[in-house]
Structure 1
């Protein structure tokens, strides 16, 4: 605290003491903690004397039970919320001097929220609130080959255990940000965020790229670099070979068409020859069964008699 601030607090304490009152002071800028670490939520009683009749409480908005209750010189663990038993405590050697700051051990993501420090003496009550923000630094960055995507390869970058979720980027060796898919965020059972992002790298790209995680809440940046060998990329057709391949394909198609036409024509000729053979055989059969006919002049039709 600044000198002026301390002087104001001291003056308020003297005036409050003269009228038999007290103040509870909590810094107004709030507190920041990291998951797994410890945090101290500062709170000061003015005047700096905690009598045996005073009850100190720390409460968190949204919880029915208090985070901590201190009365008659010890913590009331029966009244304390079960999530904070053995994790929340006061500084025993400092309590009687007016330091009623709360220490929370092994901070969890769920500890984030608004806390109120209060002191009660008889009918008098004083309290002050402050915000606790929780941050979580995730695991190391992992890069793996996802598979082939056309003429390129697809890489995926992953990191888990962040809160809030960070920004993730793929950056090539010259500093340019690579075109990439949207960043995906998944929240785990503890409220922490897992983040991943894919990118497709082509053969003509630089062989060294990096995945960067930017965590602006604590101004932290992490990165992982990967070098890509040309042998990993799928084998492609050289530019000069494309016209040749196209020409060969056209020739093969033409050759197949000619063969098909010839086969079709041969089948047609054979069919015509077969039909001709049938007709000739039938004609021979008919000629082999010719019958001589003699007309009776008396009974024949006049039309046939004209030729006799």
Structure 2
């Protein structure tokens, strides 16, 4: 009975102390606010990407630690500590390809630049900032586009009293739209469309249309990115 009373006497204060420590920890994390952009960053493969990240309020950066990472904190994409880059445990695919913009540190900016963006770089990046006992993080999404080949238009065969014409283009990411247009830019309905992916995750699209036989018709086939509106097109004329 005495042992039970002794345990009950000390369990409540321990719980209260734990709660106070937890609340103080949460309070510290709320003092520093880290913010990413309102939407994803969209970059074409081969270009350089800048992932924006800001913190407030602006403060001394002498003790600041900045880590950009993906699925896990280590290995990281880029690490800055003690006023210098410390990329000793950097992900292999980012070695020599990242740069933290240090000129903006005093103004609350910890933007990360990724050189020569590859398709495998797409996805979420976490900007984690620690300054003394304060910390916070924000997630930045990077979307990568790849523009494929100029559409190849080919005459396939006669079908349903008309001429079946196909349009094919390869090497796109993400999945693009295929549009047929008349000389006035009006969209024409397609007969069929197929989409496949190759071993590099790039999309191959093919679409077909039937043109009226015996009349001259000019049509064009356009393959367009949904994300940024960039497109490639080819024209076809039937007699």
Scaled by the length of structure 1, the TM-score of the pair is 0.58
CA deviation digits over 1:130-186, x for unaligned, max 9? 3223333333222233455586544321222322212213344474625522x2222
Judge conservation of contact 2:176–2:223 (CA < 8 Å) in 1: yes
Instruction: Spell out the pairing of 1:30-179 with structure 2 (5 A cutoff).
Output: 30-61=40-71, 65-147=75-157, 149=159, 153-173=163-183, 175=186, 177-179=188-190
Distance 2:105 2:117 in 1: 22
The correspondence for 1:22, drawn from 28, 32, 52, is 32
Greater RCO between the two (CA within 8 Å, min separation 6)?
2
Judge conservation of contact 1:172–1:178 (CA < 8 Å) in 2: no
| Structure showing greater Rg | 1
The correspondence for 1:217, drawn from 213, 218, 227, is 227
CA deviation digits over 1:35-91, x for unaligned, max 9? 222221111233434533321101123685211111123222221111112222111
CA deviation digits over 1:206-251, x for unaligned, max 9? 332221224332234543111224xxxxxxxxxxxxxxxxxxxxxx
Distance 2:131 2:182 in 1: 64
Count of equivalent residues: 212
Counterpart for residue 197 of structure 2: 187
Judge conservation of contact 1:152–1:203 (CA < 8 Å) in 2: yes
Counterpart for residue 208 of structure 2: 198
Scaled by the length of structure 2, the TM-score of the pair is 0.73
Structure 1 residue runs of 5 or longer lacking an equivalent are 1-15, 230-308
Counterpart for residue 268 of structure 1: none
1:51–1:207 distance in 2 versus 1, CA, 3 Å: closer
RMSD across aligned positions (CA): 3.2
Higher helix share: 1
Judge conservation of contact 1:172–1:206 (CA < 8 Å) in 2: no
SS at match of 1:93: helix
Distance 2:73 2:237 in 1: 51
Structure 2 residue runs of 5 or longer lacking an equivalent are 1-26
Distance 1:96 1:178 in 2: 56
Higher strand share: 2
